[in-house]
Amino acid sequence: MTNVVVIGSQWGDEGKGKIVDWLSERADVVVRFQGGHNAGHTLVIDGVSYKLSLLPSGVVREGKFSLIGNGVVFDPHAFVAELERLAEKGVTVGPDRLRIAENTALILSVHRELDGIREDAASNSGTKIGTTRRGIGPAYEDKVGRRAIRAMDLKNMETLPAKVDRLLTHHNALRRGLGYEEVAHETLMDELQSVAETIVPYIDRVWKILDDYRRRGARILFEGAQGTLLDIDHGTYPFVTSSNTTAGQAATGSGIGPGSVGYVLGITKAYTTRVGEGPFPTEQDNDIGQFLGERGYEFGTVTGRKRRCGWFDAVLVRQAVAINGITGIALTKLDVLDGLDEIRICVGYKLDGEEIDYLPASQGAQARVEAIYETVEGWKATTAGARTWNDLPAQAVKYVRHIEELIGAPVALLSTSPERDDTILVTDPFHD
Ligand code: GDP
Ligand code: IMO
Ligand code: MG
């Protein structure tokens, strides 16, 4: 049985949510394995739009089971708020269809505040990352520092005070150093107690649930957040998020062996966008960038920030194909390029006068690379809303085929609008 992992092959916002929702019809269970509510996914189903951050994008489909794996950092308040927002749209997600791994580290108010404090301080010194200010980085730091409060701790109020003390010893020392007030033990205890009752029924052994699914031959869909270039190891460090966003994390971040991961589907936008600071070789800070941003409605789902836009970068995606072992891609937002006379594709970089075919690892070199472009003809006819391959103009097909050649991976799915059904299936990732 083939399972599928969906990951972003650029800087996030490639349209992972839409594709996961579409694919979830074919899956039995959808699992998040990293990141947190820094993710923002918009799904459009029969004209109704759903915005998801922490919940797996399969929750909108009735009868599908969802899991939040241990690799996620979990903000209980954001979780409750998201459940409420979905309930207003008629989608109820109770413990009968969602479980959270007991060993998931929590994001608390101290993390959110620290994220904001650091970003504000960095704004003045020019070292800002442009985070989503959701507390993601500080929560992962505490996890790796072995002082995190984890979901299972909400089940045991007797052992919680000692864990809170340990966490606050660290945070209050940091806060004093930064000139901020200390957080009282009772404040954090109250915060945890206020959510415990709601969260506890969802807490479970996700590794065991997954093992049962696997043994039954059920189909598992792993849902990545962010994108390869935001990966803590492989991305544009330090302008990255604090988790591994690449396919290998699907196994560790959910508690299943790597042999069960199966097909790696890289979600790939037909151009490039990025939110926040950091290098972006094909960025178009001009009319083209403006055009892509307006046509593609490139505003962050989480923070509402305008996304930076640029041409498709085949060097980056080829690198993502290698790092993730991408089997096939889902090419999204092809419709945004409709009507352009010419389209440019980055096929290499120039670094200090020399041509290279990869993104170098150092921050300095990443800032200095210049894109080498190839120009291809655009198409006048529209691809928007196309649902079959035959509906695509010849020139658009040529663009897709050329991208496949440049990145060394085939297109498995094509997306031509935000709407769930405006999707073309070329090869089923869940093939047996
Ligand atoms: P994610 O973070 O990867 O899930 O992506 P986001 O949901 O943050 O951003 C993708 C945006 O593009 C959303 O607003 C989607 O509704 C929209 N979208 C997805 N696929 C397509 C497509 O093929 N065409 C157009 N025009 N919009 C799309
Ligand atoms: P989805 O899942 C795009 C970016 C932030 C910032 C950097 C670090 O919707 O694709 P963080 O808050 O994670 O510490 O911020 O990562 N970032 C994203 N950019 N899409 C996302 O998620 C992102 N999640 C984080 O803008 O540059
Ligand atoms: Mg997004």
Q: How far apart are CA 102 and CA 105, in angstroms?
A: 9
**Structural domains in the chain (count):** 2
User: Which is it for the CA torsion 322, 325, 330, 333, positive or negative?
Assistant: negative
CA angle 173, 177, 182 (to 5 degrees): 50
Distance 39 CA to ligand 3 centre (A): 5
Query: 427 is written with which tokens?
Result: 């090869």
The DSSP bridge partners found for residue 332 are 269
The answer as to whether 99 is a domain residue is no
Query: 126 is written with which tokens?
Result: 């020019």
The answer to whether residues 66 and 55 touch, using CB atoms and an 8 Å cutoff, is yes
396 lines ligand 1 (CB under 6 A): no
Of all ligands present, the nearest one to the C-alpha of 38 is 2
From the number of C-beta atoms within 10 Å of its C-beta (0-12, 13-18, 19+), residue 225 rates as buried
Specify whether 129 is located in the same domain as 215: no
Specify whether 294 is located in the same domain as 351: yes
Residue 8 Cα: closest atom of ligand 2: 10
Q: From 201, 226, 257, give the residue that closes a domain.
A: 201
The residue among 7, 55, 393 whose CA lies nearest residue 202 is 55
Q: How far apart are CA 335 and CA 418, in angstroms?
A: 10
Specify whether 281 is located in the same domain as 393: yes
Position 216: which residue type?
A: R
Specify whether 252 is located in the same domain as 322: yes
Distance 8 CA to ligand 3 centre (A): 10
Residue 417 Cα: closest atom of ligand 1: 24
Of all ligands present, the nearest one to the C-alpha of 274 is 2
Q: Write down the pLDDT at residue 1.
A: 62
Specify whether 195 is located in the same domain as 211: no
Specify whether 127 is located in the same domain as 224: no
Q: Write down the pLDDT at residue 432.
A: 65
Q: Write down the pLDDT at residue 260.
A: 95
Q: How far apart are CA 352 and CA 135, in angstroms?
A: 37
Q: From 201, 217, 249, give the residue that closes a domain.
A: 201
The answer as to whether 430 is a domain residue is no
Distance 82 CA to ligand 3 centre (A): 15
Distances (CA, A) of 190 to 111, 113, 239, 322: 16, 17, 34, 47
Q: Is 391 a catalytic residue?
A: no
Distance 132 CA to ligand 2 centre (A): 6
| Pocket around ligand 2 at a 6 A CB cut-off | 8, 11-13, 38-41, 129-132, 134, 136-137, 225-227, 230, 241-242, 275-276
From the number of C-beta atoms within 10 Å of its C-beta (0-12, 13-18, 19+), residue 329 rates as buried
Of all ligands present, the nearest one to the C-alpha of 18 is 1
332 lines ligand 1 (CB under 6 A): yes
* pTM score of the predicted model: 0.97
Q: Is 234 a catalytic residue?
A: no
Q: How far apart are CA 121 and CA 25, in angstroms?
A: 45
Residue 220 belongs to domain with CATH number: 3.90.170.10
Tell me which H or E stretch contains 3: none
Q: How many Å from the N-terminal Cα to the C-terminal Cα in the chain?
A: 6
Query: 55 is written with which tokens?
Result: 């919940």
Specify whether 286 is located in the same domain as 160: no
Q: Write down the pLDDT at residue 333.
A: 98
The DSSP bridge partners found for residue 419 are 44
Specify whether 237 is located in the same domain as 268: yes
The answer as to whether 431 is a domain residue is no
Specify whether 272 is located in the same domain as 403: yes
Q: How do 220-223 and 29-32 pair as beta strands?
A: parallel
8 lines ligand 1 (CB under 6 A): yes
253 lines ligand 1 (CB under 6 A): no
Specify whether 223 is located in the same domain as 361: yes
Residue 267 Cα: closest atom of ligand 1: 3
Q: Write down the pLDDT at residue 301.
A: 78
Ranges of the chain whose pLDDT falls below 50: none
- Tell me, rounded to whole angstroms, the distance of Cα 410 from its chain centroid: 21
Q: What are phi and psi of 400, to 5 degrees?
A: -60, -45
The residue among 79, 246, 72 whose CA lies nearest residue 148 is 72
Nearest residue (by CA) to ligand 2, atom 25, is: 38
Tell me which H or E stretch contains 32: strand 29-32
The answer as to whether 273 is a domain residue is yes
The answer as to whether 100 is a domain residue is no
Specify whether 14 is located in the same domain as 148: no
Q: How far apart are CA 248 and CA 206, in angstroms?
A: 18
17 lines ligand 1 (CB under 6 A): yes
Residue 174 belongs to domain with CATH number: 1.10.300.10
**Residue whose tokens read 């409420």:** 84
Residue 332 Cα: closest atom of ligand 1: 23
The answer as to whether 123 is a domain residue is yes
User: Hey, is 356 helix, strand or coil?
Assistant: strand
Which residue from 13, 57, 229, 272 has its CB within 8 A of the most atoms of ligand 1, so it is best to mutate? 13
Of all ligands present, the nearest one to the C-alpha of 57 is 1
Q: Which of 21, 37, 41, 313 is catalytic?
A: 41
The answer as to whether 145 is a domain residue is yes
The answer as to whether 321 is a domain residue is yes
Position 191: which residue type?
A: E
The residue among 205, 249, 208, 202 whose CA lies nearest residue 225 is 249
Specify whether 222 is located in the same domain as 112: no
Q: How do 342-351 and 354-356 pair as beta strands?
A: antiparallel
Distance 137 CA to ligand 3 centre (A): 18
Which residue from 132, 245, 277 has its CB within 8 A of the most atoms of ligand 2, so it is best to mutate? 132
Q: Which domain holds residue 125?
A: 105-201
Q: From 177, 201, 225, give the residue that closes a domain.
A: 201
Q: What is the DSSP string of 36-82?
A: -TT--EEEEETTEEEEESSS-TTTTSTT-EEEE-TTBEE-HHHHHHH
Position 61: which residue type?
A: R
